[in-house]
Amino acid sequence: MLAVRTSSRRLGVALAALAAGGLVLAGCAGETAETDAAPTASASAAPSSSAPSTSEPGEPAAVVPQGEPMTVAADLVAPWSVAVVGETVLVSERDTGDIREIVGDTTRVVGTVPGVVFGGEGGLLGIAADGDDGLFVYSTGSGGNRVERFALTGAPGSLALGDAETLLDGIPSARTHNGGRIALGPDGMLYVTTGDANVPDLAQDRDSLAGKILRMTPEGAVPADNPFPDSFVYSYGHRNPQGIAWAEDGTLFASEFGQNTWDELNIIAPGANYGWPIVEGQGGGADFVDPVQQWSTAEASPSGIAVIEGTVFIANLRGERVRAVPVADPATATEHYVGELGRIRDVVAAPDGDLWILTGNTDGRGAGPRDGDDRLLTVAVG
């Protein structure tokens, strides 16, 4: 059962922490991998939250969720991503195109992203803060997926979307496999995950933007130190990555939907090839980088990820659970809330150090909405 705490109190604590400084931002399955099957418990990962830390001296200790998640906001419609801009928490809704602002115990529409083409897994996807007055947005348009920057006007509680600037468009899109996670890295560059748009061979084509993790300047230019000259491509050979986040030492982790066999957690290196569609999961040989951990598609469908202290937290859709993976031992995991919250679309490092969990029960898949769905939830970690 979910515990419900007064949203305004929890949000006030989070925003006070944000004002004091220190925010970590984290960051769809193919129709075959993400089905409506009931979640199953993994035999290879302990369900307990009491696993010992494997951190080396000087590394942050791994942490896990503590207790029951509490509601920050409810009655969201197919939410996809969370961003904290200044003192404001924003949520994107895939199937409405709306960006919502959390105001006390309620939400309000800041604006609707224009020109969004809805259908399947396309629509309004990832959002990420650009300072205190801007928002990076990934969405599906008539010419494919695109990355835009919107100005934000007004004050918290009455924000509005300003003008949009297109940073990159023409990213291949389809009803499935659109990627969509977007985040500013610790190097100040903007990272974007893209799916193979249901054309697997595009993932191996470095001239295509599909099936990649892209890296660009916040202004939309190719960084001079990207691994391939004059190319946004940072890594390739991806099927449908939907989560990216950095550990304290700068290690970039990414979650990825497999096809029929293995979903993946990868450590991303510049210029590396992650094998799709030649290989799915581990065992690719010297030409490809293996995932550090893999799960059957029935147990996972991993979407957003976040790193808090020494732990990578992973949202799972079909698997209906939160995984906690120690940064120092990324081949291991513990599992939390299996089947309790339904489908989970995103996890976010909150400004106060808690874990935010965004459910995904109104997206047309799975068993459907529960009372109050969809929700943004919060839980302490330790």
What local confidence, expressed as pLDDT, does residue 25 receive? Answer: 29
What local confidence, expressed as pLDDT, does residue 59 receive? Answer: 75
Residue 330 has pLDDT above 90, yes or no: yes
Mean of pLDDT values over 159-171:
97
**Sheet of 134-141, strands arranged across:** 124-129, 134-141, 144-153, 160-171
Residue 54 has pLDDT above 50, yes or no: no
Answer with the residue of higher pLDDT: 154 or 14.
Answer: 154
Answer with the residue of higher pLDDT: 89 or 15.
Answer: 89
Give percent of the chain above pLDDT 70. 85
128-138 confidence digits (pLDDT tens): 999 999 999 99
Residue 242 has pLDDT above 70, yes or no: yes
What local confidence, expressed as pLDDT, does residue 320 receive? Answer: 98
Q: Classify burial at 173, counting beta carbons within 10 Å of its beta carbon; exposed 0-12, middle 13-18, buried 19 or more.
A: buried
275-322 confidence digits (pLDDT tens): 999 999 999 899 999 999 999 999 999 999 999 999 999 999 999 999
Mean of pLDDT values over 171-178:
98
Q: Classify burial at 98, counting beta carbons within 10 Å of its beta carbon; exposed 0-12, middle 13-18, buried 19 or more.
A: buried
Going by pLDDT thresholds of 50, 70 and 90, the confidence category of residue 57 is low
